[in-house]
Structure 1
Amino acid sequence: MDLQSDITINVPAFTFSSISDETRAINIQVAALEAQSTIGSFVDVGAQKYREMMANGETVFPVPERLDVAEDLVLPRRDGEEIPIRVVRPKNGKTPRAVLLHIHGGGFVLMTHRDFDSRLQRWANECDVVAVSVGYRLAPEHPWPTPMDDTIDAAVYLATHPSFLGAPLRLVSGESAGACLAVQAVLHLTKTQPSHQLAGVVLPFGWFDLTNSMPSNVANTNSVIVTHAGLGEYRQACLPDATAEAIRKASPLHELGRMLVAAEVADSQAIKLPPALFVCGTADPLFDDTVLMGVKWMATGSEAVVKVVPGAAHAFTLFPGYSLGEQANALVVQYMKQRLDSLELGGDLSTA
């Protein structure tokens, strides 16, 4: 055994001095908007009312853009009902090379599958994919495990019915709470559909540990967009009065940890996962979730790229005109294209 570390860190990405003036200004601006708001949280006005206010631009979030070219379709649900999906196809006339499944964030409570048309269209055009956003049922009306079950049902159907949209499911993306659901779906596919190949998974600022006990979560008292207390409200809505064990069971970070321990006990190799891209800012309460999830992902022997944005807040890629957010969005497109190219060139899923 030598003294070379098995984990290396790009230290400047974690340092206060690396935070750009633009990032500081964006965070101050968002904090000011939040301070001026008299709305409160969804708990104060009710989840449905808050969703309506978001759709009308009455919160700090921009009004979602709806595109006429987007299609509203449905997938079958395990109980015989239907899951709504939003489908956006390439405008360039090319035959799609793959299906990309997107799972939206919003703390399992807010936002809808119809709020990301512009982003889906960019992915469709630049990656030559059919981009699909899944309308999983929201809490508190539909608590856990309903959001996870709907996401898994959508992923399994698309993986096993490539003719439905004319291409195989090859990419999965989810941000924030959607990243939690995306990982649960990927773990399910890996276990139950071992012959199905995913080219890659994209997981910006994911909520992977629902216990909310990570240091960045507990200690970050100046965060914007989401806070430790706010994450507690979302969790209570989705997992009302859940036991500590139930919360850990719903957390993909703990699930992946259990898989690694089980493999070690059984003296076997952990299940190989598809390559993943993790992106998160250091000012995000969920920053530690990303760092530890990325390390655990690599510990399974799977490829993972973890990109750190100094000083960036939660959901920073949604801020219009923010250069680091735009760079991160461009990186996501680059990664998706690279992963699809790697798979098509003979199944080599290693990071190029």
Structure 2
Amino acid sequence: MEDRLHPELKSMFAGLPEVIYTRGNLEEKRMEMQQFAAAMAATLPVHEGVLTSERYIPCVADGPDVRIKIYEPREKKGALPGLLYIHGGGYILGSADMMDPAMKQMVSELECIIVSVDYRLAPEHPYPAPLEDCYAALKWFADHAEQLGGDNSRIAVMGPSAGGGLTAALSLLARDRQGPAIMFQMPLYPMIDDRMVTPSSQTITDDRVWSKAKTELAWSLYLGEREDGAISPYAAPARATDLSGLPPTYICVGDLDPFRDETIEYVTRLAEAGVPTEFHLYPGCFHGFEEYVPGAEISQRAVNEYKTALKQALHK
């Protein structure tokens, strides 16, 4: 894998430790992810002009209340667009809290209101619990946008990795339930195909980054008892047979990401279904490269490109 890496990522990649996930060490790995996020947060500027709050909202389906975090500018000039943010972590890791600095920075740069959903994690809460939490957050956001100083006709959804999978699934679910309108979706390097039959899903095996073994474990924990049965396209959006009527889409992925091929196939099918779609493939880049090596020019370019696309979508 080292031979194919982008030159700017090689030195950092060489120092990464192997990380193995098992059912038994998930709590430990969740803590490590929070510590990594905290270390990355320390490198970001402080945004005093952003207010942060949290609340618990009713789950649409049977389940406990859903925790959300709200980020909004101290001073608003007119009704602002909204962004529902769904964190990554393979459906088994991560939290809304670890995204605090990044969300504040995005509010400042994009001039929007962000609701970040702290959805339940597998295996304690397999599909459909995480998706239903995200749908509850979307519905609450749309219903309360005006109270927040927002515009419920301009709500976009984005997330990386499993957050990208949930973004794609939520767009399908909102379409089919005739729920709140999503104006734009941004599933970044999304985890959307449990079948793992593509070359990239089988050949990215280096456990210093997200790999075949991690993907296999994450899907088995997320799907739970459904793993050997019929899998819903709301669980694995690559299984959806009809992608028409979905919101305009922006997607990116690295060419050393195990989700590369399923992403490319999804992008192709979106375009064939008439969905306006922008796609970026970054050479020599592994899963989540822009978070691991934020100072690299290619990482900054990737982030700037998706933020530019998001800002244009929110404010057009």
Category of TM-score, reference length = shorter chain: 0.7 to 0.9
Greater share of residues in strand: 2
Partner of 2:192: 208
User: Which residue of 210, 213, 235 maps to 2:219?
Assistant: 235
Q: SS of the counterpart of 1:116?
A: helix
User: Which residue of 21, 24, 48 maps to 1:41?
Assistant: 21
Partner of 1:221: 205
Q: Is the 2:232–2:239 contact (alpha carbons within 8 Å) kept by the matching residues of 1?
A: no
Give the count of matched residue pairs. Answer: 303
1:51 deviates by 1.5
Runs of 4+ in 1 over 6 A off after TM superposition: none
Partner of 1:266: none
Partner of 1:136: 119
Q: SS of the counterpart of 2:73?
A: coil
Structure 1 pair 80/50, CA: closer, same or farther in 2 (3 Å)? closer
Q: Which blocks of at least 5 consecutive residues in structure 1 are unaligned?
A: 1-15, 261-270, 343-352
RMSD: 2.5
Matched, 1:184 2:169: yes
Matched, 1:273 2:246: yes
1:91 deviates by 5.1
**What is the distance in 1 between the residues matched to 2:284 and 2:301?**
15
Matched, 1:145 2:128: yes
Q: CA offsets per residue over residues 223-276 of structure 1, 9 Å max, x none?
A: 642111111111122123521532766210111xx126xxxxxxxxxx322111
Structure 1 pair 116/249, CA: closer, same or farther in 2 (3 Å)? closer
User: Which residue of 301, 304, 311 maps to 2:284?
Assistant: 311
Structure 1 letter corresponding to 2:269: K
Partner of 1:50: 29
**What is the distance in 2 between the residues matched to 1:275 and 1:104?**
20
Q: CA offsets per residue over residues 277-305 of structure 1, 9 Å max, x none?
A: 11100000110121111111111111000
**What is the distance in 2 between the residues matched to 1:221 and 1:50?**
19
Q: TM-score, normalised by structure 1?
A: 0.78
Partner of 2:237: 252
**What is the distance in 2 between the residues matched to 1:244 and 1:224?**
31
**What is the distance in 2 between the residues matched to 1:119 and 1:249?**
27
Structure 1 pair 44/22, CA: closer, same or farther in 2 (3 Å)? same
Q: TM-score, normalised by structure 2?
A: 0.87
Q: SS of the counterpart of 1:141?
A: coil
1:80 deviates by 6.4
Q: Is the 1:94–1:128 contact (alpha carbons within 8 Å) kept by the matching residues of 2?
A: no
Q: Is the 1:172–1:201 contact (alpha carbons within 8 Å) kept by the matching residues of 2?
A: yes
Structure 1 pair 65/170, CA: closer, same or farther in 2 (3 Å)? same
Structure index of larger Rg? 1
Structure 1 pair 312/88, CA: closer, same or farther in 2 (3 Å)? same
Structure 2 letter corresponding to 1:165: L
Structure 1 pair 96/323, CA: closer, same or farther in 2 (3 Å)? farther
Q: Is the 1:282–1:311 contact (alpha carbons within 8 Å) kept by the matching residues of 2?
A: yes
Q: Is the 1:175–1:203 contact (alpha carbons within 8 Å) kept by the matching residues of 2?
A: yes
Structure 1 pair 76/165, CA: closer, same or farther in 2 (3 Å)? farther
Percent identity of the aligned residues?
25
Matched, 1:76 2:50: no
1:65 deviates by 3.5
Q: Which blocks of at least 5 consecutive residues in structure 2 are unaligned?
A: none
Q: SS of the counterpart of 1:250?
A: coil
1:84 deviates by 0.5
